Structure 1
Amino acid sequence: MDLFEDIVNARCSDPFGFLGLHWTEEKDLKLNVWRPDAVAIDVLAIDADSVIGKMNLNTDSGLFSCQWSDKKTFFHYRLRITFSDGNTATFVDPYQFNQATFADPEHHKATLYQKEGALFQSAPVTDSLAIDGTRFAVYAPAARSVYVVGDFNGWDGRIHPMSSNGDGVWRLFIPDVRDGAKYKFEIRAKSGDLLPHRTDPFAKRIEQFPSFASVVQESQYHWNDESWMSRPISDIYEEAVSIYEVHLGSWRKKEHNESLTYLELKEQLVPYVVEMGYTHVELLPVMEYPFDGSWGYQPVGLFAVTSRYGTPDEFKALIDAFHQAGISVIMDWVPAHFPSDSHGLANFDGTHQYEYEDPKKGWHPEWNSLIYDFGKEHVVDFLISNANFWLEEYHIDGLRVDAVASMLYLDYSREDGEWIPNVHGGNHNYEAIAFLKQLNETVYLNHPRCFTVAEESTAFSGVSKPTYMDGLGFGFKWNMGWMNDTLEYMKKDPIHRQYHQGELTFSMVYAFNEQFMLPISHDEVVHGKGSMIDKMPGDGWQKFANLRAFNGYMFTHPGKKLNFMGNEFAQGQEWSHTRSLDWHLLDIDYHKGLQTLVKDLNHLYTGEPALQLDHDYQGFEWLSYDDSQNSILAYVRQSKAKDELLIVVVNFTPTPHKGYRIGAPKLGRYDLILNTDASIYGGSGFHTAQTLEAESIENHGRNDSVMLDIPPLSTVIYKWKS
């Protein structure tokens, strides 16, 4: 009875050693069942309702037993249980299926989710009958005991003790637990303390507050994006990438301020992104998170798409619709930190299994969250398998990795004495660096059509260089320097911009050191920073003219593009996740004009080879960068073969210029293909020539030049024709 005492006292790691069928010393078969909620139990045949034994209640603790002297082999059975309220129910006893019945699914580091979590499996019991159920597995190496609790056992922490074979993973197959069943893990620490119920780290679905229950999830979705997933592998660096960054819950609201569902977003968001000419959409984190105000950047369920807007299969339908429309989907992904909510990973089994133990490494002071211990193999496997999970199971096309700088530096957001140096006395987190390299190698090896993006705000070397060149291996890096310098410049009154020309031109000093994206993200329109239109100086007309000129400059500057939702039509209020974008503003000409401009810029960018060579110095040449008095920039964008040429002229003052001469890359005709000051965009309509003819007049160090009239606060683009 020692094992039974261990089970009753929640200190047993091998419930199969006592529960289920066993041989007695007399060579009889004995069945032990522990159901402290039962008053009587009958043993039934597995495939019929015939009673093959009546169990005796042996102890007040709920131990039932039955013995057979005529049985020569183990057999499968069901239990008809009578409860104290007189109700009865029939169950297939999980303890007749020991761990030898189910070998761990074959997997590698990138597919750990195929080994842990709630997995559908089938147990053969006769030649013609198999029992379907769910095999639960959770990593809790320091636990004294682990139990599965759920709506299938009345959330009773005594019914389903799990088994561990010493590898730190606790397992139990429970028959007849199917799609939609709710569950958690009840863990007792080595100290004997009962911990708060834990959500499954590998749960595919998690309920919202207050339960945060894990939900058994079996996908029924049939994908229709075969042609997308098998498209030829191309060089994304030489392609247009224009990203629409979206917070799904606030892009557009319904009546009573309700968010759109995944299926409603499929019908509304997808055609909008297509119409606007974007090539990619980037979703703020959709992994399950408890606090709305974190926007998903404090995730608890990394494998669960948030249930705020629908089911996992409905989210797949949204991704599928994007793919069928030719739009790539990027997801924000947060491996840097996680919140300390009691149902999550913090102190998971009574010890720091997922976070660094020392708060000088394991606590993030800026975000009041915990930091993953990148030195632990299981943590690295957990995170890398999660990244692979979204690419594999949800057909995601790219991951934007959040807060990379906080991972790279041990002293990030810490004062002296608040951090632990590495083995060489420096501030680099070698374990996090090794993790990021392994992450990127795994992604690109398994999914060559996908890419990764680092939100990294420092001068750390080689973020987007391959790992074989001692880089971190990311595909792209956000150009935070360009963003900060440009926005600081744009905020200034045009009369003062002449003293800050270098803030614009400096970006070209390092523009090709990394594979850059130019981000105007959600971070620039929150926390009192105001909306993009609010940042612009001047009266109403000048604000919009500045913003139009800025968009023209951004789309012609080397680097891929990212713009947060609402920026495309000059969202009025600072963004808030609690309300919809101000779609009513499109009834105003200035706002509608800006939206039209962004649409045209997207189509221009995707249609002009000269703009798509934006990762290589060959695609850009200065014509004039030092006319600070007039705040004018002029440059050439060109294809690799230099057979496609654009002249871009940007005027960041409200003063028009007639007869302004700039150098030209070659003789020939140049046709105007975009003018941000055009009347259709809400501009002044200042007359500028539709065609320029280059002359053999030296200017700006060029043998040839053109003369043009430059509109106020504008970006104009001319294309060489012959």
Structure 2
Amino acid sequence: MREQDVIAKKNSREQARGTIPDSHAQSAPGVELGILEIDPWLNPYKKDLELRIASYQGVKKALLGEGVSFTDFANGHNYFGFHCTNKGWYYREWAPAADALFLIGDFNNWDRTSHQLVKKENGIWEIFIPGKGSLKHESRVKVYVIHNGHSQDRIPLYINRAVQDPNSYDFCGQIWNPYRKYKWQDIDFQSDHTKAPIIYETHIGMSQEKEAVATYQEFEENILPRIKELGYNTIQIMALTEHPYYGSFGYHVSNYFAASSRFGTPDELKSLIDKAHCLGIRVLMDIVHSHAVKNISEGINEFDGTDYQFFHTGSKGYHSAWDSKLFNYGKHEVIHFLLSNLKYWMEEYHLDGFRFDGVTSMIYHDHGLGSNFDSYGKYFSVNTDVEAITYLQFANELIKEINPQAISIAEDMSGMPGMCLPIEDGGIGFDYRLSMGIPDFWFKTIKLNDNDWNMNELWYALTTGRPGEKRINYVESHDQALVGDKTLMFSMADQDMYWQMAKKSQNLVIDRAIALHKMIRFITIAANSDGYLNFMGNEFGHPEWVDFPREENGYSYQYCRRQWSLVDNPSLRYDDLNHFDGAMIRFMEKNGLISVMPKLLWLDQERKIIAYRKKDCIFVFNFHPTESYPELEIPVHENGRFQVVIDTDEALFGGFERISHNETYESQQLKMNPEFMGLFIYSPCRTAMVLKKI
């Protein structure tokens, strides 16, 4: 069947109800593009950038008309789905190709004929059920959809809760309308957009030590205090949206407006977020608008009987690497659905922003698979999905309209120019990009002989980014520890971690791993980051890997948990790494050193030394495996007195206490470089230190 976009002319009132105008008008090229001043290397691609901004302007005008904001527009959740009034319940769906819809559930003993929806204009279906008590709290519902003689029970598109039957494992929609509405306590919480995000990436289900699925309540009680104590100011929660397969890590979303019921109730999630805010911690959601689960019975795929209601038809709508469906971002109803989804999560759950998953897959027709993006031309060609870029621009604009202090982060490995520049400059509007090349660099480097580590490559990897754009640096996220790989600590220490992590034991493999674990994290956050991310448990060197229960492992939870007993045992060296992580974060925040450009003072490949300056702090990293330098010369280019304020070799951090914090270093004329003023310091092998001007 030919795809049809049934879109009618609408005024702002109708837009607020969830219907959308039909227009693909675009503005003329020739607009001013600030991105070209920020990055002159983009001038040969001016026409492509003009196309980007023209698409943004044209589609925005088509959607909003005059005088309407995205906040006014993105209200699908306020119209579609279930809504209780004083006289009864309204239930509405958008299913343009369906021939008939019937509401079924506990309330009518699953009768497939008694409650038929009425088809209205523009593919909208509606039914009114008299009586406020006609749909009871926690009652189960589905919608029976008929298309071209075929019929199936489906979960409503805008359902805000879906639950799984423990016996059949089937998912079903559930009415969530408690008598006592959740009362938020975070009215005074203000998410400071200017404060660099120090992110604790987390997964609710695997956050406890028990071999089972953890809950929102357990996370609130047991994990939030740990996060606060370490000094993280942001948590990024994965797998919040309902997904049928637990092992998908939450990336095969089925019900976009439903918080995962595996972990508890909507009110328990609200309580978790509320408590985080009361602790001064903002909460981001790992949002998946890059693809959707292909499942028909649980998800939105073929809801109205067609494969093109939300997605591209045929092979274009299927991601072969992810085995999932791909949204058609050129379709106005899809834009409306996804933008409404963002607004719902921000308003209903008080979220402070989003980390957008799979941005690279979204913005290229080949999803970036196999591309190395080694030239600017690869960003601007027929391979670029301008419609997806336009959607992301709208998403970022909406987020800021709802909460100017909210932040958005792009998971983009391609390095698309303008990803984190303002839309008015020709950018896409994200606040930050994940520095996905840094963990790849580290995991490649630790496999080399220590003498072969390249300091020039290291410095380049940590400090190079797109002009004017902010980056979230990290050593390892959840990706680096998925089954088939290992955490950084386990990659360096391997089987010795099972037997040699006691503080009283001596083991060269463990000593190396602990020293480098601290140094690698410290230089990653301290070199040239605008934010920092760590995956739950990896701050203390969590062993092994992450593997969700599945058929291949006998549905075991052994590797789908966090072993907090390891770090809570003061006789084990995990405790040392945990102490350092907290001290490192507090030091960087207290001194305001994140988002400060470093000034390279000395880089010595042979000696494996990197030294740089931020404000009044001199950072010295000695990556040499064996060589310590009694009088290492570090140029500081000024007269002054300096003192060590933090170092990785402190006893509290499992070090050997070779660096004095009592000694004062006064700048003087250097021997090797007499034209420079600098410091003579003792730099032990495999250590990092910071000297602060006093």
Q: What TM-score do you get using the length of structure 2 for normalisation?
A: 0.80
Distance 1:388 1:704, change over 3 A: same
Aligned match for 1:321, one of 266, 271, 275: 275
Q: Which residue of the partner structure matches residue 60 of structure 1?
A: none
Aligned residue identity for 1:622: L
Q: CA deviation at 1:702?
A: 7.1
Q: Which residue of the partner structure matches residue 613 of structure 1?
A: 595
Q: Tell me the distance in 1 between the aligned counterparts of 2:301 and 2:106.
A: 24
Aligned match for 1:342, one of 258, 283, 296: 296
Distance 1:305 1:702, change over 3 A: farther
Distance 1:667 1:594, change over 3 A: same
- Contact 1:366-1:413 at 8 Å conserved across structures: no
- Contact 2:418-2:427 at 8 Å conserved across structures: yes
Aligned residue identity for 1:313: D
Q: Tell me the distance in 1 between the aligned counterparts of 2:267 and 2:674.
A: 60
Q: Which residue of the partner structure matches residue 466 of structure 1?
A: 422
Q: Which residue of the partner structure matches residue 573 of structure 1?
A: 544
SS in 2 for 1:483: helix
Q: CA deviation at 1:181?
A: 1.9
In the alignment, is residue 601 of structure 1 matched against residue 552 of structure 2?
A: no
1:375-454 aligned within 5 A: 375-412=330-367, 426-454=382-410
Q: Which residue of the partner structure matches residue 218 of structure 1?
A: 177
Q: CA deviation at 1:606?
A: 1.6
Q: Tell me the distance in 1 between the aligned counterparts of 2:279 and 2:688.
A: 31
In the alignment, is residue 179 of structure 1 matched against residue 137 of structure 2?
A: yes
Aligned residue identity for 1:303: F
- Contact 2:356-2:408 at 8 Å conserved across structures: yes
- Contact 1:692-1:707 at 8 Å conserved across structures: no
Q: Which residue of the partner structure matches residue 647 of structure 1?
A: 618
Q: Which residue of the partner structure matches residue 561 of structure 1?
A: 532
1:101-112 aligned within 5 A: 108-112=72-76
Q: Tell me the distance in 2 between the aligned counterparts of 1:268 and 1:700.
A: 54
Q: Which residue of the partner structure matches residue 43 of structure 2?
A: none
- Contact 1:664-1:705 at 8 Å conserved across structures: yes
1:90-109 aligned within 5 A: 108-109=72-73
Distance 1:486 1:513, change over 3 A: farther
Q: CA deviation at 1:695?
A: 2.2
When Rg is computed on C-alpha atoms for both structures, the one with the higher figure is 1
SS in 2 for 1:491: coil
- Contact 1:672-1:689 at 8 Å conserved across structures: yes
Q: CA deviation at 1:514?
A: 1.9
In the alignment, is residue 516 of structure 1 matched against residue 471 of structure 2?
A: yes
Distance 1:620 1:430, change over 3 A: same
Q: Which runs of 4+ in 1 moved over 6 A?
A: 699-702
Deviations 1:322-357 (A, max 9, x none): 000100111100001011112211111111344434
SS in 2 for 1:319: helix
Q: Which residue of the partner structure matches residue 624 of structure 1?
A: 602
1:99-138 aligned within 5 A: 108-123=72-87, 133-138=88-93
Q: Tell me the distance in 2 between the aligned counterparts of 1:268 and 1:337.
A: 33
Aligned residue identity for 1:212: F
Q: Tell me the distance in 2 between the aligned counterparts of 1:458 and 1:474.
A: 15
Q: CA deviation at 1:425?
A: 6.6
Q: CA deviation at 1:632?
A: 1.1
Q: CA deviation at 1:182?
A: 1.1
- Contact 1:340-1:370 at 8 Å conserved across structures: yes
- Contact 2:601-2:636 at 8 Å conserved across structures: yes
In the alignment, is residue 550 of structure 1 matched against residue 520 of structure 2?
A: yes
Deviations 1:484-516 (A, max 9, x none): 22332233221211x463243344233654210
SS in 1 for 2:235: strand
Q: CA deviation at 1:415?
A: 8.4
Q: CA deviation at 1:482?
A: 2.5
Distance 1:702 1:533, change over 3 A: farther
Higher relative contact order (CA 8 A, sep 6+): 2
Distance 1:321 1:700, change over 3 A: farther
Deviations 1:94-140 (A, max 9, x none): xxxxxxxxxxxx983222100111111222xxxxxxxxx32111110
Aligned residue identity for 1:596: H
Q: Tell me the distance in 1 between the aligned counterparts of 2:77 and 2:466.
A: 39
Q: Tell me the distance in 1 between the aligned counterparts of 2:510 and 2:437.
A: 28
SS in 1 for 2:610: strand
Q: How many equivalent residue pairs?
A: 579
Q: Which residue of the partner structure matches residue 151 of structure 1?
A: 106
Distance 1:506 1:443, change over 3 A: same
Q: What TM-score do you get using the length of structure 1 for normalisation?
A: 0.77
Q: Tell me the distance in 2 between the aligned counterparts of 1:484 and 1:684.
A: 30
Deviations 1:58-101 (A, max 9, x none): xxxxxxxxxxxxxxxxxxxxxxxxxxxxxxxxxxxxxxxxxxxx
SS in 2 for 1:227: coil
Aligned match for 1:290, one of 218, 240, 244: 244
Q: CA deviation at 1:697?
A: 1.3
Q: Tell me the distance in 2 between the aligned counterparts of 1:671 and 1:493.
A: 33
SS in 1 for 2:390: helix
In the alignment, is residue 193 of structure 1 matched against residue 193 of structure 2?
A: no
Q: Which residue of the partner structure matches residue 76 of structure 1?
A: none
SS in 2 for 1:427: coil
Q: CA deviation at 1:235?
A: 4.6
Q: Tell me the distance in 2 between the aligned counterparts of 1:202 and 1:182.
A: 14
Say what the alpha-carbon RMSD is for the aligned residues.
2.2
Deviations 1:14-49 (A, max 9, x none): xxxxxxxxxxxxxxxxxxxxxxxxxxxxxxxxxxxx
Q: Tell me the distance in 1 between the aligned counterparts of 2:399 and 2:358.
A: 19
Distance 1:503 1:359, change over 3 A: farther
Distance 1:524 1:414, change over 3 A: closer
1:569-718 aligned within 5 A: 569-577=540-548, 578=557, 579-586=560-567, 587=569, 588-609=571-592, 611-614=593-596, 619-625=597-603, 627-638=604-615, 645-655=616-626, 656-688=628-660, 690-698=662-670, 703-718=676-691
Deviations 1:404-439 (A, max 9, x none): 0000000126689xxxxx9x9710111101100111
Please, which runs of 5 or more residues in structure 1 have no aligned partner?
Answer: 1-105, 124-132, 417-421, 639-644
Q: Tell me the distance in 2 between the aligned counterparts of 1:713 and 1:567.
A: 20
In the alignment, is residue 165 of structure 1 matched against residue 120 of structure 2?
A: yes
Q: Tell me the distance in 2 between the aligned counterparts of 1:659 and 1:107.
A: 61
Q: Which residue of the partner structure matches residue 482 of structure 2?
A: 526
Identity of aligned residues (%): 27
Q: Tell me the distance in 2 between the aligned counterparts of 1:695 and 1:166.
A: 78
Q: Tell me the distance in 2 between the aligned counterparts of 1:337 and 1:262.
A: 25
SS in 2 for 1:535: helix
Q: CA deviation at 1:289?
A: 0.4
- Contact 1:204-1:305 at 8 Å conserved across structures: yes
SS in 2 for 1:539: helix
| Structure number having the greater strand percentage | 1
Aligned match for 1:372, one of 318, 321, 327: 327
